[in-house]
């Protein structure tokens, strides 16, 4: 086995070249936007991928075998609204669940590569604190935009966010995504989650929090200005960690 490490930002422009040559993709990402992008590209090139995620004491893992199992958009047709789901920085992660889910996913990876008959066709949901282990077989959805209709909205950047450095201001604008235009972020819920970590202020028009040396200002349409960096990757990572994407 030869390991080739790449330091790359995964986005709609870079992902196709990375995935086209692979046999399998394991998701170890920390945000939904990247997972929907992985889903699009893996369906397009018919590459199996393993969706995995952990938060607090629970985690989920699901093999996505294009043309065979449900895909991420069959299971969750739309990306959650920014600010509505807990993130590692707002809810934390219990280390045991990382071991449980990564053990599950890496074993499924071996089975997929070996074309085993034992490959899981269900979504596995584990909560170590609540002592639950559930498996749900999800059906494929004929009208799924990705695997049913082959419309790759994230890959074609019709959905998902973008970012741009604001010249000379040591700030980056990150455009998060609202599911539907006109939908607004719930600042009260966001404030509740971030209050333990940051100084939070908000009114009807904007939400502001100070974390470390950064000042994050979020607008109701999920757009944010992150002051304290001119690096888009740093800004997008802060957005994913604290606001959620």
Residue number, 40 or 232, with CB nearest to Zn ion: 40
Residue number, 65 or 147, with CB nearest to Zn ion: 147
- What distance in Å separates the CA atoms of residue 69 and residue 19, rounded to the nearest whole number? 19
* Least distance from Zn ion to the Cβ atom of residue 84, Å: 22
Residue number, 73 or 227, with CB nearest to Zn ion: 73
Residue 59: C-alpha distances to residues 50, 86, 93, 180, 217 (Å): 13, 12, 10, 28, 30
- 8 A C-beta contact, residue 19 and residue 45: yes
Active-site pick, 88, 147, 167, 209: 88
- What distance in Å separates the CA atoms of residue 186 and residue 84, rounded to the nearest whole number? 8
- What distance in Å separates the CA atoms of residue 188 and residue 192, rounded to the nearest whole number? 6
* Least distance from Zn ion to the Cβ atom of residue 164, Å: 31
Sheet holding 49-55, edge to edge: 25-26, 49-55, 58-64, 123-127, 132-136
Burial annotation 29-58 (CB, 10 A radius, 16+ → b, else e): bbbbbbbbbbbbbbbbeebbbbbbbbbbbb
Residue number, 148 or 220, with CB nearest to Zn ion: 148
Q: Residue number with the shortest CB distance to Zn ion?
A: 144
* Least distance from Zn ion to the Cβ atom of residue 77, Å: 8
Would you state the structure tokens that stand for residue 98, as one six-digit string? 């990382």
Catalytic, 88? Answer: yes
The residues of the shown chain that bind Zn ion, judged by CB under 5 A, are 71, 73-74, 144, 146-147
* Least distance from Zn ion to the Cβ atom of residue 38, Å: 13
Residue number, 27 or 232, with CB nearest to Zn ion: 27
- Please provide the distance, in angstroms rounded to a whole number, between the alpha carbons at the two ends of the chain: 34
* Least distance from Zn ion to the Cβ atom of residue 180, Å: 20
- Give the position of tokens 């200002």: 217
- The catalytic residues are 88
């Amino acid at each position: 086995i030869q390991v080739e490490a790449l330091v790359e930002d995964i986005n709609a422009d870079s992902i196709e070249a990375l995935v086209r040559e692979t046999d399998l993709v394991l998701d170890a990402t920390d945000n939904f936007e990247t997972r929907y992008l992985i889903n699009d590209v893996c369906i397009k090139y018919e590459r199996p991928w393993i969706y995995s995620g952990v938060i607090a004491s629970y985690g989920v893992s699901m093999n996505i075998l294009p043309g065979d199992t449900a895909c991420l958009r069959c299971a969750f047709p739309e990306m959650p609204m920014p600010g509505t789901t807990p993130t590692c920085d707002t809810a934390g992660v219990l280390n045991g669940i990382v071991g449980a889910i990564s053990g599950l996913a890496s074993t499924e990876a071996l089975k997929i590569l070996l074309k085993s008959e034992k490959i899981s066709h269900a979504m596995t949901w584990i909560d170590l604190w609540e002592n639950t282990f559930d498996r749900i077989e999800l059906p494929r959805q004929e009208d799924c935009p990705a695997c049913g209709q082959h419309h790759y909205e994230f890959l074609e950047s019709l959905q998902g966010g973008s970012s741009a450095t604001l010249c000379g201001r040591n700030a980056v604008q990150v455009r998060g995504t609202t599911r539907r235009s006109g939908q607004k972020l719930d600042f009260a819920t966001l404030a509740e989650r971030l209050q333990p970590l940051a100084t939070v202020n908000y009114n009807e028009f904007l939400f502001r929090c100070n974390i470390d040396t950064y000042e994050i200002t979020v607008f109701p349409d999920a757009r944010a200005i992150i002051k304290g960096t001119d690096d888009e990757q740093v800004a997008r990572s802060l957005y994913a960690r604290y606001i959620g994407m």
